[in-house]
């Protein structure tokens, strides 16, 4: 019984972290209709900002998470205005090429600037608690809580705030939104910055739990894409559900069978979803 509880707790915490990475990506696609392959690099840079702030300079952990989010928000906004804005309305392949170039530039520069050794970010909390025979570390509890809080905050922001409603309007129909007086250019950089900041916070959380290297962004991007395709491009709820599915598969199948089978099963589930729901679980038809 405790084994299954352990698998469940691990799956939930993993799923929430996955969702946090994926939500930024789905937000950017939903608003701008671009595939941001360098999303994982924002995740990596976010983790390194926290590393230098907290591990190297010894400054407070949570302030570092906030600084990381702000810095990467700014970087994302600048990238959108300088690189992606001129490509708006053009074939998606242009933005794809730009974001792939960004992946190489940022990860390559990261190795030169940050070095190639793996680094660790000291955790803000330590210890844990036994729940029905299953162990749950306070670190994972905090990370899960932060993930939930951010996802809920984003959901509320998109539904209750003026800017959030404008983001949804632009995502739904940019031309009509513009006719209503919404400055779509402004919404684009806000959404890009916000999505990047979400990735940065996810990088901080996962970097603390695991370890960080300049090449860590690639895997994060792969996971994020798997989740976003599963949940549906542009859907925040889809990213959450997709993250949970992937997290549970990773936890339960790896523990009971093997990691190889978990990876295969993850893709089988994605294929099945795409066969029966080509736009993903909660996605729209973007054709």
Partner 1 sequence: MKKETGSLFVTRRRLLVTGAAALAAPAILPRSAFSQQAKTIKIGGAVPLSGPVAYWGHSTAQGFIDGAAVINEAGGVMIGGEPHMLEVISYDTKGEVADSRAATMRLVEQDQCKYVFSQAAASNVGMLQVTEPAGVLSIVACWGYLDLFGKDYPLHFRAEMSDYEQGFAYIPFMQEKYGKDALKTAAFIGPNDQDGTDCHFSYKRLMDYYGITQKAAEFYNWEDTDFYPIVAKTIADRPDFIVTSPSPPGITASIIKAARELGYTGPISSPAASETKTILEVAGEHADGVILPVTNVEPSTDTQKAIEKRFMERFGSFNALAGNYSWWIYSLKAAWEAAGTAEDTRKVAEALAAVELEDTYVGKVKWAGKNSFGVDRQGVYDCFTTTIDKGVAKVEDVRFPALPADY
Rg, the chain, Cα only = 19
Longest dimension (CA), the chain: 59
The reply to whether 4 sits near partner 1 by the rule CB under 8 A is no
Q: Determine contact, residues 114/214, Cβ cutoff 8 Å.
A: yes
The reply to whether 132 sits near partner 1 by the rule CB under 8 A is no
What part of residues 6-25 is at the interface with partner 1 (CB under 8 A)?
6-7, 10, 14, 17
Distance from C-alpha of 16 to C-alpha of 227, rounded to nearest angstrom? 11
What part of residues 28-87 is at the interface with partner 1 (CB under 8 A)?
54-58
Span interacting with partner 1, options 149-157, 232-240, 247-255, 268-276, rule CB under 8 A: 247-255
Span interacting with partner 1, options 29-37, 80-88, 161-169, 217-225, rule CB under 8 A: 217-225
The reply to whether 229 sits near partner 1 by the rule CB under 8 A is no
Query: Chain centroid to CA 5: how far?
Result: 26
Buried residues in 198-230 as b, exposed as e (16+ CB within 10 A): bbbbbbbbbbbbeebbbbbbeebbebbbbbbbb
Interface characters, 99-128, with partner 1 (x: CB under 8 A): ---------x--xxxxxxxxxxxxx--x-x
Least distance to partner 1 from the beta carbon of 231, Å? 18
Distance from C-alpha of 127 to C-alpha of 196, rounded to nearest angstrom? 31
Taking Cα atoms as reference points, which of 64, 30, 37 lies closest to residue 200? Answer: 64
Q: Which residues contact partner 1 by CB under 8 A?
A: 3, 6-7, 10, 14, 17, 54-58, 108, 111-123, 126, 128, 135, 137, 206, 209-211, 213, 215, 219-220, 222-223, 250-252, 254-256, 258-260, 262-263
């Amino acid at each position: 019984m405790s084994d299954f509880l352990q698998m469940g707790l691990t799956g939930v915490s993993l799923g929430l972290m996955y969702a946090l990475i994926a939500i930024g990506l789905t937000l950017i696609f939903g608003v701008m209709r671009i595939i941001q392959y360098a999303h994982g690099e924002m995740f990596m840079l976010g983790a390194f900002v926290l590393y230098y702030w907290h591990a190297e300079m010894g400054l407070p952990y949570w302030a570092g998470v906030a600084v990381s989010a702000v810095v990467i928000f700014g970087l994302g906004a600048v990238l959108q205005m300088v690189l992606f804005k001129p490509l708006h309305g053009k074939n998606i392949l242009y933005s794809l090429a730009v974001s792939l170039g960004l992946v190489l530039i940022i990860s390559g520069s990261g190795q030169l600037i940050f070095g190639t050794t793996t680094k660790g970010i000291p955790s803000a909390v330590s210890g844990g608690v036994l729940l029905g025979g299953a162990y749950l570390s306070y670190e994972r509890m905090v990370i899960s809580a932060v993930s939930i809080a951010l996802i809920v905050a984003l959901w509320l922001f998109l539904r209750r705030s003026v800017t959030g409603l404008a983001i949804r309007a632009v995502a739904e129909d940019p031309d009509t939104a513009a006719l209503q007086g919404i400055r779509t250019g402004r919404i684009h950089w806000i959404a890009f910055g916000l999505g990047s900041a979400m990735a940065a916070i996810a990088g901080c959380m996962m970097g603390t739990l695991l370890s960080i290297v300049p090449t860590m962004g690639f895997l994060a991007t792969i996971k994020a894409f798997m989740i976003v395709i599963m949940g549906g491009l542009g859907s925040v709820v889809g990213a959450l559900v997709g993250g949970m599915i992937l997290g549970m598969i990773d936890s339960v199948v790896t523990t009971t069978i093997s990691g190889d089978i978990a990876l295969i099963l993850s893709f089988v589930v994605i294929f099945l979803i795409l066969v029966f729901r080509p736009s993903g679980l909660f996605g729209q038809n973007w054709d």
